[in-house]
Structure 1
């Protein structure tokens, strides 16, 4: 998307697209100030490139965004000795199967879909509870604590706190 579209801005279109699905969105625009980039990411863009750009770099970035979406769309994730099956909503740690509460499962699946990526509380709330969530962002902390308790059975998968930023899932396999 370009930010400068006729009729409506690319930012508005990006927000509307995010309300109706989870598709890769890359902003490609002449607006290159930090505030413009912030607004693009806040609207839901996965990446932001300013004009003029190197076409080869655009291809690299498109492939990176596509890889992230393909991994998130996988029905079964294998991370060390942890398996997360989105179809059956089961988490297997070593040989023990767990049926997690829905939000806890979705939170784990979101983090596991992008190992090593830091998610802010706001991003996790938007992905798991939805943009209309009116509760406290500390809800994430409670769910993370519960997930950490369940992940004690493995020494290969851990949810780390990144101070001042959020959480990320690390895999040592």
Structure 2
């Protein structure tokens, strides 16, 4: 099982002139290499591959400071101590953490986390976000950004 850290989410693409491939050595720290000039769609395809690599596979733990999210074990710990989250709080945190740096409206979060069977108002998302922030403290509070009049975003880099 591989642990993710905040720095693991920084992915790099090396852009190399096609006619200079043999002349330049590419450090192994790069995740992808794009040849310049680009073929149509090549760079966007490589960026999509990198984005997909950022999603947590089953059995992985996401680590954000002293907060650890066990994706398959449905357990969140802070400083090694389990934090009691409700099922929906856990689902909401998991969804946001596995889709970093994307803004989701309250309606989108209701659809993704609560599903089609929820008939309440969108403000329930606000209540759950507030509870998650309170229970997990500063590390997660700094990462879950409120986007005024839109919704929320989980920030991978702070």
Question: Could you say which TM-score interval applies, normalised by the shorter chain?
Answer: 0.5 to 0.7
Counterpart position of 1:81:
66
- Structure with the larger helix share: 1
The one of 38, 42, 58 aligned to 1:56: 42
Residue 91 of structure 1: CA displacement? 0.7
CA RMSD after TM alignment: 2.6
How many residues align structurally?
120
Shift of residue 130 of structure 1? 1.0
TM score, norm. by length of structure 1: 0.58
**Within 2, Cα distance between the matches of 1:62 and 1:96?**
35
Which sections of structure 2, spanning at least 5 residues, go unmatched?
1-38
TM-score, length basis structure 2: 0.63
Residue 161 of structure 1 is matched in structure 2 by: 146
Alignment partner of 1:94 is 2:79 = yes
Q: Which has the larger radius of gyration?
A: 2
Partner Cα separation in structure 2 for residue 110 and residue 96 of structure 1: 22
What are structure 1's unaligned runs of at least 5 residues? 1-52
How far apart in 2 are the matches of 1:73 and 1:114? 15
Q: What is the match of residue 125 of structure 1? A: 110
